[in-house]
Structure 1
């Protein structure tokens, strides 16, 4: 036994033709719009469409040509002993600029996660002459760790005029720590 299904194009041709005229294809999906809404020449949608195109073009330009006038990250320099720390602090004191020291350990998961974020922050403050350093507490003498008065890791300290002024103990989320470090730097500039 054969059944014939009703074809909507044959039964309701006027509805089918009206829907075909009102279809708008957008990213591969078919949308039905009321008459004169969203078609070229309808006014409001044309302005919206042009705005959308220009926004996409701006994004593409930024994506293709990054700002090369300043680096996006600057690798932090290691401090290996007390003599090196003294030299760094003396040079910073001559220039009257603060120094940021990240006290971390190679086994500390939060320290490892925070380091690239601090390197981006170092690039942000590079133009102002602020340098970022790190100390791996397992690879340096304990006298250096005691000098920094480190009890928890990661600890980010701001040193100015040869002494530690402020610190952020980074046991919480990395974006919060970087924001606190940014505020600490801006307060001590």
Structure 2
């Protein structure tokens, strides 16, 4: 039995071949044509729709095209899974002369969960000069947590040349923590 889908006017305008009430299979077959720029992780139908919306947004009122900004909105924090991986990250950063921001968090910590996406957005500001990583304290050895001097979650540390040079304990609102982290990074970049 085929499912009937009621499409809004805006979706019908994206593909005029589709009527208001159509079987779901017909929608998926009409959107399944190969398209350029289908590199996102969404299903093909959503990629096609977002591609068309981006094309419509690129048109200026006078009919000319404007250049789209393809810079990332956020950068996913790299995951550190064990002590050896931590040492590799520090060695690589030291060879490149870069600083590293490490977010120590726990899966059960609500403040950590709220803070992580905000730090991913902050990572864009310093990308690619600075690398951001996160460590789940419950999935690494206690020895590594003690070595870093982490006592509370979330803790955000700035490391350079294998040494901790700054630390912020994020026990308050996320936007305050992000501002403090930004300030800590900018002070390091100045020095």
Corresponding residue for residue 154 of structure 1: 154
Corresponding residue for residue 109 of structure 1: 110
Q: Secondary structure at the match of 1:177?
A: helix
Q: Secondary structure at the match of 1:121?
A: helix
Q: Secondary structure at the match of 2:134?
A: strand
TM-score, with structure 2 as normaliser: 0.63
Corresponding residue for residue 132 of structure 2: 132
Once the two structures are TM-superposed, the CA of residue 67 in structure 1 deviates from its matched residue by: 5.5
TM-score, with structure 1 as normaliser: 0.64
Counting matched residue pairs gives 127
Once the two structures are TM-superposed, the CA of residue 95 in structure 1 deviates from its matched residue by: 1.3
Q: Is 1:185 matched with 2:185?
A: yes
Corresponding residue for residue 87 of structure 2: 86
Once the two structures are TM-superposed, the CA of residue 96 in structure 1 deviates from its matched residue by: 1.1
Radius of gyration: which is bigger? 1
Relative to 1, partners in 2 of residues 1:68 and 1:136: Cα closer, same or farther, differing over 3 Å? same
Rounded Cα–Cα distance in structure 1 between residues aligned with 2:96 and 2:70: 24
State the superposition RMSD in angstroms.
Answer: 1.8
The superposition leaves residues 92-151 of structure 1 with CA deviations (integer Å, 9 ceiling, x where unpaired) of 111111100000000000000000000001111114x20100000011111111111111
Corresponding residue for residue 165 of structure 2: 165
Rounded Cα–Cα distance in structure 2 between residues aligned with 1:184 and 1:109: 23
Rounded Cα–Cα distance in structure 1 between residues aligned with 2:69 and 2:109: 33
Q: Secondary structure at the match of 2:74?
A: coil
